Amino acid sequence: MTNMGRWGTAALSLVIAVFGNLACKHASGQVQSIGQATRETGQTTSSAMSSSAPTFRERYPRYKLQPGDSFDVYFDLTPEFNETVTVQPDGFITLRAIGDIHVADRTIPELTGILRTAYGKVLHDPQINVLLKDFEKPYFTADGQVGHPGKYDLRGDTTLTQAIAIAGGFLDSSKLSQVILCRRVSEGWFSAQIFDVRKMEKAGNLLEDPHLHPGDMLFVPKNRFSKIKPFLPGTSLGTILRPY
């Protein structure tokens, strides 16, 4: 392969990676205007690049409280302080003896420490336990050319092809060879991988069928034929031709 050919292949791979990442951010409502960011920063420095670089997630991340979650607060020695509270839309909770405390994005161990410090002002060495009662269940999102786009509970081990089936399966307009799986890497950063589901199903080899993680989003784009179909006479060709 010539140098020009190698450079062309590398450039194509870079374009796919960049636009796949942008597609994931757009689907999550977190895309920023590149032009606006350039005008605001003026130029990119080494320190800015390092500070904005993605960081890997923890291997076993703890659940962080979100608005709408509820939990029980138990006191071993002073049960009269026991109560059930719900995280308000602004991220605060209201406790009878303490008042308002901001708890959104806190883990249960962090919250326990905060409550022990707060109740330490009215109790001597409070022994507090926090039990999460109601919280956001693990989910995945299916979008694009599937039967029923939407948000679905992620129950147990679920693969990409199983998630597509849960979302109503492929449509005639689906491009099976370029199914995009978006996954959050860190805050504001997403990875995008393209899977050839048609090839996996045709070969009968699902070893490459990835397992979904909570918060994943799959996107099925339109195939080429569906884009030109409105300009063709008649609709019967759709049952004969199905490019991938």
Q: Which pLDDT score is estimated for 20?
A: 52
Q: What fold, for 139-239?
A: Outer membrane lipoprotein wza fold like (3.10.560)
**Both tokens assigned to 176:** 């099976």
- Comparing 169 with 37, the larger pLDDT belongs to 169
Q: Is 55 helix (H, G, I), strand (E, B) or coil?
A: coil
Q: Which pLDDT score is estimated for 71?
A: 95
Q: Which pLDDT score is estimated for 52?
A: 47
């009878």: which residue's tokens? 96
Question: What percentage of the chain carries pLDDT values higher than 70?
Answer: 66
Fold match between domain 70-134 and domain 139-239: no
pLDDT category, 231, cuts 50, 70, 90?
low
Q: Which pLDDT score is estimated for 92?
A: 96
Burial 78-102 (b: 16+ CB within 10 A, else e): eeebeeebebeeeeebeeeeeeebe
pLDDT category, 134, cuts 50, 70, 90?
confident
Q: Which pLDDT score is estimated for 147?
A: 95
Give the strand pairing for 150-153 and 139-144: antiparallel
Q: Which pLDDT score is estimated for 155?
A: 83
As a CATH number, domain 70-134 is 3.30.1950.10
pLDDT tens track for 83-130 = 999 999 999 999 998 999 999 999 999 999 999 999 999 999 999 999
The full set of domain ranges for the chain reads: 70-134, 139-239
Among 42-51, 66-75, 107-116, the least confident range: 42-51
Cα gap 170→188, rounded to integer Å: 29
172 close to 242: Cβ distance less than 8 angstroms: yes
* HEC-encoded secondary structure of 81-144: HCEEEECCCCCEEEECCCEEEECCCCEHHHHHHHHHHHHCCCCCCCCEEEEEEECCCCEEEEEE
